[in-house]
């Protein structure tokens, strides 16, 4: 076959090793005009690709070069995720990209990423030991290595929930790539991950909650008022640590929840609450008023003892030197107090379920409980309301104010 072009082919020409190439002038997404090339083993193959490229060019901008998925995700995190999402959410997105997406798919060209690639990646995540993949044990000092680095794989596989979250992050990134007209379809949206079973939570009973609080109060635990807010009003960890005195009105008996304290990217961030529904002004039961009054006196005593070493802030809960309480340290103190009180160890976040169960057994209307717990959806509240204990426990829970505060609530 001669190298002469047929009528209408224009830019199709012989290429190297007997193959053919062609180009079309296209408008790129950034507004520039460039040549877009296609290649093939025969003139007919290139002609078909050339016609298809012409059609795409008439519809709108065409990408002339495609980055790898890792390159695109780096830009997406910096230009889209960080400016648009809350710091904690942005950190979570970055974590999924760094630990799961880039190691498995990062080298793939964005426009060449296929459904099979994503499905293979999902399957591998569900089967692969992450201690091995991330070198967790290998990163330890040689004398402290205990599993994968010494040939005894610990099989620390990824949970289905984590895989679902990682796929959701990838899907979000590819959706934005479609918006930018870099790709034509979202292959991550075509791959499904079966949901795993929800872990069964066993929150404290009213007796366990009472035992825990009484032990903290008798031990003069400086975090006792924080535990009261966590159990009675369902405060999240970040909300109780981010509480400021300007948000507390002991005379009116109310508290405003509007900010939270979190450690994000190795620094403490005092930011808005998790959702709009999380921001609320709540009535303070007498036990909370008493506990916060005690906290004010304890903090003032600590300030006098610290002298010039005291760090001035408006936080309700601080260390002996006035600095904010580290979130992880709060978890450790909570766990240690549970052991000393002789009650079951539960996750700190599960205290919200304890609070919900207490409110349900006290016959508080679900809509009111939804406001106290600051759920964004009534379905979340109703899920907790299905865990109400027996009638005997219900009668005991109705005496919550007497059990926990020494006197009846005044709301």
- Convert the pLDDT of each residue in 221-233 to its tens digit: 999 999 999 988 8
pLDDT at 39: 83
Between CA 290 and CA 285, with CA 262 as vertex, the angle to 5 degrees is 20
The C-alpha atoms of residue 204 and residue 231 are separated, in whole angstroms, by 10
- Quick one: 55 and 130 in the same domain? no
- pTM for this model (two decimals): 0.69
Strand, helix or coil for residue 31: coil
- Quick one: 223 and 116 in the same domain? no
Evaluate whether 171 touches 178 at the Cβ level (below 8 Å).
no
The domain that holds 337 is classified in CATH as: 1.10.443.10
- Quick one: 183 and 262 in the same domain? no
pLDDT at 361: 62
| DSSP codes joined into one string, 242-269 | T-BGGGEETTTTEEEE-EEEEEETTEEE
Over residues 31-46, mean pLDDT:
84
pLDDT at 411: 42
The C-alpha atoms of residue 4 and residue 253 are separated, in whole angstroms, by 90
Over residues 37-57, mean pLDDT:
85
Count CB atoms within 10 A of the CB of residue 79: 11
How long, in residues, is the chain? 411
Domain assignment present for 4? no
- Quick one: 172 and 228 in the same domain? no
pLDDT at 162: 92
pLDDT at 376: 74
- Quick one: 17 and 90 in the same domain? no
- Quick one: 37 and 77 in the same domain? no
- Convert the pLDDT of each residue in 303-361 to its tens digit: 999 999 999 999 999 999 999 999 999 999 999 999 999 999 999 988 887 787 766 76
Percent of the chain with pLDDT over 70: 85
- Quick one: 105 and 178 in the same domain? yes
Residue 293 tokens, joined = 């009054």
- Convert the pLDDT of each residue in 141-180 to its tens digit: 888 888 988 888 998 888 899 999 999 999 999 999 988 8
- Quick one: 158 and 242 in the same domain? no
Residue 241 tokens, joined = 């640590």
End-to-end CA distance of the chain: 92
- Crossing angle of helices 87-96 and 160-179, in 10° steps, is 100
Domain assignment present for 17? yes
* 100 secondary structure, DSSP code: I
Residue whose C-alpha is closest to residue 358's, from 304, 314, 395: 395
The domain that holds 124 is classified in CATH as: 1.10.150.130
Evaluate whether 79 touches 197 at the Cβ level (below 8 Å).
no
Average pLDDT, rounded, for the chain: 83
The C-alpha atoms of residue 119 and residue 190 are separated, in whole angstroms, by 9
* Residue 193 Cα distances to 92, 101, 105, 188, 299, angstroms: 19, 15, 17, 10, 50
- Convert the pLDDT of each residue in 240-272 to its tens digit: 999 999 999 999 888 988 888 988 888 888 887
- Quick one: 225 and 322 in the same domain? yes
Residue 151 tokens, joined = 């040939």
Of the ranges 92-106, 203-217, 373-387, which one carries the lowest mean pLDDT score? 373-387
Q: Which domain holds residue 40?
A: 13-59
Total domains, the chain: 3
- Quick one: 382 and 295 in the same domain? yes
């Amino acid at each position: 076959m001669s190298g002469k072009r047929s009528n209408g082919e224009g830019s199709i020409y012989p290429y190297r090793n007997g193959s053919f190439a062609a180009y079309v002038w296209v408008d790129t997404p950034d507004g520039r005009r460039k040549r877009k090339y296609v290649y093939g083993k025969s003139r007919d193959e290139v002609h078909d690709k050339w016609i298809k490229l012409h059609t795409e060019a008439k519809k709108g901008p065409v990408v002339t070069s495609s980055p790898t998925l890792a390159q695109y995700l780096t830009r997406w995190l910096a230009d889209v995720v960080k400016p648009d999402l809350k710091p904690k959410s942005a950190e979570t997105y970055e974590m999924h990209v760094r630990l799961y997406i880039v190691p498995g798919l990062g080298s793939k060209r964005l426009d060449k990423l296929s459904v099979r690639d994503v499905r293979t990646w999902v399957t591998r995540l569900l089967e692969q030991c992450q201690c091995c993949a991330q070198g967790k044990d290998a990163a330890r000092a040689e004398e402290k290595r205990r599993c994968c680095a010494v040939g005894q794989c610990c099989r620390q596989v990824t949970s289905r929930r984590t895989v679902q979250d990682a796929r959701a992050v990838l899907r979000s990134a590819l959706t934005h790539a479609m918006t930018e007209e870099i790709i034509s379809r979202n292959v991550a949206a075509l791959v499904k991950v079966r949901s795993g079973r929800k872990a069964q939570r066993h929150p404290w009973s009213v007796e366990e909650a009472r035992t825990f609080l009484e032990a903290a109060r008798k031990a003069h635990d400086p975090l006792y008022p924080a535990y009261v807010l966590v159990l009675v009003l369902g405060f999240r960890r970040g909300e109780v640590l981010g509480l400021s005195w300007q948000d507390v009105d002991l005379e009116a008996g109310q508290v405003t929840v509007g900010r939270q304290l979190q450690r994000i990217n190795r620094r403490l961030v005092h930011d808005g609450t998790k959702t709009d529904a999380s921001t609320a002004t709540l009535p303070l039961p007498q036990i909370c008023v008493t506990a916060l009054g005690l906290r004010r006196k304890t903090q003032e005593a600590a300030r006098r003892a610290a002298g010039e070493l005291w760090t001035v802030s408006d936080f309700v809960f601080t260390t002996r030197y006035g600095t904010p309480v580290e979130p992880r340290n709060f978890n450790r103190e909570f766990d240690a107090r549970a052991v000393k009180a002789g009650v079951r160890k539960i996750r700190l976040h599960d205290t919200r379920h304890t609070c919900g169960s207490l409110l349900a057994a006290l016959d508080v209307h679900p809509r009111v409980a939804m406001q106290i717990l600051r759920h964004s959806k009534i379905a979340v509240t109703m899920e907790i309301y299905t865990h109400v204990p027996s009638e005997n426990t219900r009668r005991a829970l109705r005496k919550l104010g007497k059990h926990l505060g020494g006197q009846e609530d005044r709301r």
